[in-house]
Chain A
């Protein structure tokens, strides 16, 4: 009985997320590099200053964080462009 309740909650949650997600997807793809930098870094640690590393170093760090934080290339490229511009 307990397992059935847990499974039901999980299934309902999944479809609720799916439904909500479809409505917000367009909003996310239009986000700037600055927004993505601010939102993603703080999920684990403080957001770094763009001046902390050189442009070349940011490219290497971005690849490392793409793997570690499971980001896709669009997100990473936008963040790197922002960091280089603000550096």
Chain B
């Protein structure tokens, strides 16, 4: 009997021991496996992020209408360390029945200290703020760009290749100043030898410089108030634009821009008011160009171009109505003034009104009505357009 009791006791003890040794062993394995899984997701010192934006829409004009394929702009960000960032943006869009891929920018930023960043490569030029900060479709409050601020009929640079230092310093004015100084290839002058109708026009896609001279430029922005609501900016870019060895070798261009931004919550209206404006001026030295009709005939003109816009938007984001607080009302006046005596000259006025519905903070459906009047040719009819676009940032 005693032997039976001892045997049962030993069996129970053995079971206890084995159960005690197996279970903790299994838990330890599980914990180790869990640790390994966690370590797999632990970020390294360098991180990669894919962001970007896209848009598409429907455009109805006086004599035709079309769905527009819009564009898809992936943005690649590599954060190599707390000091080093590489960023690049591609633009994929449908143009004349083909898919076109463009490199918007690709550059490396090195943070020298708290207030100075060194940037090398192809970067968006801080000439005003529209081209650098406001042009992405999910940021631009209207379905279209102001006159003179898109790739066609461009007055002022958008992106160029070079070197830049930039940053922000909390001195001088209320919120501080931000600045940028850069050296780039600069624009090149179309001398009309191949395209007489474009003689005197500047092209900004000068990715392989046409002369030894580099354009120097910069922008300084003042934020004079204590809450960053107001920013006033001055930009300039100066350099020779003619081809080396040509009669236009010494032709220079002086580019200026003035920009303004005011964003403020108006408590009484439970809304955010957003005012934006920019004036671009491009002055090219006078030169003589071949006329298109007569190869021996030459002509000259005051080569000054201007493009400006003013925009106001009101977003009742703090009203209680669930539909109204997703809406935004926008109006913009834009003007383009090109040299009247140039073959590509003329004067246009654009008036655009829009209502936006924000699905979330980065997804918007935009309804717009736009008129474009060719002031330099009153005989031409006014172009009316209804624009419906959706844009998403991600």
Contact = CB atoms under 8 A, between A and B. Distances in A.
B231 interface: yes
B361 A47 contact: yes
Main secondary structure, interface of A, reads helix
Contact of A72 (B119, B169, B225, B358): B169
B179 A70 contact: yes
Interface in B160-215: 166-176, 178-180
Interface in B228-247: 228-229, 231
B270 interface: no
Contacts of B358: 46
B272 interface: yes
A29 B176 CA distance: 10
Contact of B176 (A28, A56, A66): A28
A43 interface: yes
A39 B362 contact: no
Contacts of B222: 17
Nearest to B328: A46
A86 interface: no
Contact of B172 (A21, A28, A60, A63): A21
Contacts of B393: 45
B168 A72 contact: yes
A28 B139 CA distance: 26
Given A17-B222, A64-B87, A57 B361 contact: no
Contact of B263 (A28, A43, A56): A43
A19 B119 CA distance: 32
Nearest to A54: B43
B117 A66 contact: yes
Interface residues of A, number: 37
A73 B226 CA distance: 18
Contact of B168 (A21, A25, A57, A75): A75
A59 interface: yes
Contacts of B221: 70
A28 B361 contact: no
B170 A49 contact: no
A4 interface: no
A24 B133 CA distance: 26
Contacts of A42: 263, 272
Interface string A55-87: 011011101101111111111000000000000
B167 A72 contact: yes
Interface of A: 17-18, 20-21, 24-25, 27-29, 39-40, 42-49, 52, 56-57, 59-61, 63-64, 66-75
28 contacts: A17-B172, A17-B222, A20-B224, A21-B171, A21-B174, A24-B174, A24-B175, A24-B226, A25-B170, A40-B228, A42-B272, A43-B228, A44-B134, A44-B139, A45-B362, A46-B358, A52-B362, A56-B47, A60-B49, A64-B85, A64-B87, A67-B85, A70-B179, A70-B180, A72-B114, A72-B115, A72-B167, A73-B115
Interface of B: 43, 47-49, 51, 75, 77, 79, 82, 85, 87, 109, 111, 114-115, 117, 119, 129, 132-134, 138-139, 166-176, 178-180, 221-222, 224-229, 231, 261, 263, 272, 358, 361-362, 393
The 8 closest A-B pairs by CB, nearest first: A70-B178, A21-B173, A46-B361, A24-B226, A24-B174, A73-B114, A39-B228, A60-B79
